[in-house]
């Protein structure tokens, strides 16, 4: 007889909700940050640099100093940063100039499905009929966004949708890479700090070479404050994510995808008065249903 899984602690549900709602706001913050007229490459650099600065007091509390930093951990953090920060932030800042915040949030619902597909490709998970249906629903959601003439505010926005879909692939790659290659001896706070430093160091010469570097205004304007908000939300979400992963497990934590997507759509409607076509709402519902089929059903405690 199968054991009944105990219910997750109410604290974990509260953290899950907080994580999803705050990170869901990041799509609107991306959009506000682009309103200052600065190039997305420079915005991505400052996002990574500000995130690294915010992590200084937290990473300094890690025992053992920086003795865990080796060539292999540095290489891990550079690759991890490429998929988790460098490419996604550039893609999102470019997309935010053209797409509604809610449309960008919709793409996040596809991350669990893309991660599962990658795990199948790497032979670290197995297919089942239910999961195949879930992957199929993810594909249908994508088609509902890009094929109908009236799905997006402007038909030309279909091209810009390649950027959020690119973020989906980046995040899926990040999840798989971290799960397979994360150094067991390194503290998570330290790894996160070095990752953001590496992303900033990677982006700085690119912004200088392309003459896109800018210095934020002082006192900061609305766009600069939104950029700081993106960094704050991201750092907070990473720590909430690690808290849930350590105590509630990956299955429970994966449910954040639902909250992030719905919160992202909601923030866009509240802050920008966004409205979406019936095709987008259908894609959202189908994508979220697909996630329920792809992930395991057991909840951690």
Measured in degrees and rounded to the nearest 5, phi and psi for residue 147 equal -90, -50
Beta carbons of 118 and 176 less than 8 angstroms apart: yes
- Nearest CA-CA partner of 247 in 188, 173, 300, 170: 300
Work out the percent of the chain whose per-residue pLDDT is above 70. 92
pLDDT > 70? residue 247: yes
Name the DSSP class of 299.
P
- Band of residue 297 on the pLDDT scale cut at 50, 70, 90: low
Rg of the chain in Å (alpha carbons): 19
- Whether 5 shows a pLDDT value over 60: the answer reads no
At 139 the three-state DSSP class reads: helix
Average pLDDT over residues 38-54: 95
Which residues lie below 8 Å from residue 43, measured CB to CB, with a gap of 6+?
A: 33, 34, 89, 93, 227
152-196: pLDDT as tens digits: 888 888 899 999 999 999 988 888 888 888 888 888 788 889 999
pLDDT at 63: 52
What sign does the dihedral 197-200-206-209 (CA atoms) show?
A: negative
Question: What secondary structure letter does DSSP report for 35?
Answer: G
Q: What integer pLDDT is reported at residue 217 of this predicted model? A: 82
pLDDT in tens, 20-37: 899 999 999 999 999 888
Q: In the predicted model, is pLDDT for residue 6 greater than 50? A: no
Does residue 249 register a pLDDT over 90?
Answer: no
What's the confidence (pLDDT) of residue 210?
95
Token readout for 125 is 């998970």
Identify the band that residue 301 occupies on the pLDDT scale cut at 50, 70 and 90. very low
Cα–Cα nearest to 244, from 45, 16, 6: 16
For residues 95 and 104, the answer to whether their CB atoms sit within 8 Å is: yes
Q: Are 87 and 202 in contact (CB under 8 A)?
A: no
Cα 99 to the center of its chain, rounded Å: 17
Residue 60 confidence (pLDDT) above 80: no
Token pair 């003459």 is found at 211
Whether residue 260 is predicted with pLDDT greater than 60 in this model: the reply is: yes
């Amino acid at each position: 007889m199968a054991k009944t899984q105990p219910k997750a602690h109410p604290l974990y549900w509260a953290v899950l909700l907080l994580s999803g709602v705050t990170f869901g706001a990041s799509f609107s913050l991306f959009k506000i940050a682009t309103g200052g007229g600065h190039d997305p490459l420079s915005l991505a650099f400052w996002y990574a640099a500000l995130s690294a600065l915010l992590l200084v007091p937290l990473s300094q509390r890690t025992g053992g100093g920086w003795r865990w930093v080796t060539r292999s951990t540095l290489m891990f953090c550079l690759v991890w940063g490429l998929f988790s920060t460098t490419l996604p932030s550039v893609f999102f800042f470019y997309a935010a100039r053209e797409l509604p915040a809610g449309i960008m949030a919709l793409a996040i619902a596809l991350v669990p499905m893309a991660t599962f597909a990658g795990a199948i490709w790497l032979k670290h998970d197995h297919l089942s009929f239910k999961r195949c249906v879930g992957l199929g629903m993810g594909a249908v959601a994508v088609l509902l966004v890009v094929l109908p003439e009236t799905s997006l505010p402007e038909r030309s926005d279909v091209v810009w949708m390649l950027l959020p879909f690119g973020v989906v692939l980046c995040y899926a790659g990040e999840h798989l890479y971290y799960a397979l290659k994360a150094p067991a001896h390194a503290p998570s706070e330290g790894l996160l700090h070095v990752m953001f430093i590496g992303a900033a160091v990677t982006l700085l010469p690119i912004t200088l070479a392309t003459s896109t570097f800018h210095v934020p205004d002082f006192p900061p304007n609305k766009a600069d404050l939104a950029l700081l908000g993106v960094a704050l939300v991201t750092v907070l979400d990473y720590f909430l994510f690690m808290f849930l992963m350590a105590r509630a497990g990956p299955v429970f934590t994966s449910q954040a995808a639902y909250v992030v997507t719905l919160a992202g759509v909601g923030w866009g409607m509240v802050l920008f008065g966004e409205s979406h076509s019936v095709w987008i709402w259908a894609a959202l519902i189908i994508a979220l249903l697909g996630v329920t089929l792809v992930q395991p059903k057991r909840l951690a405690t």
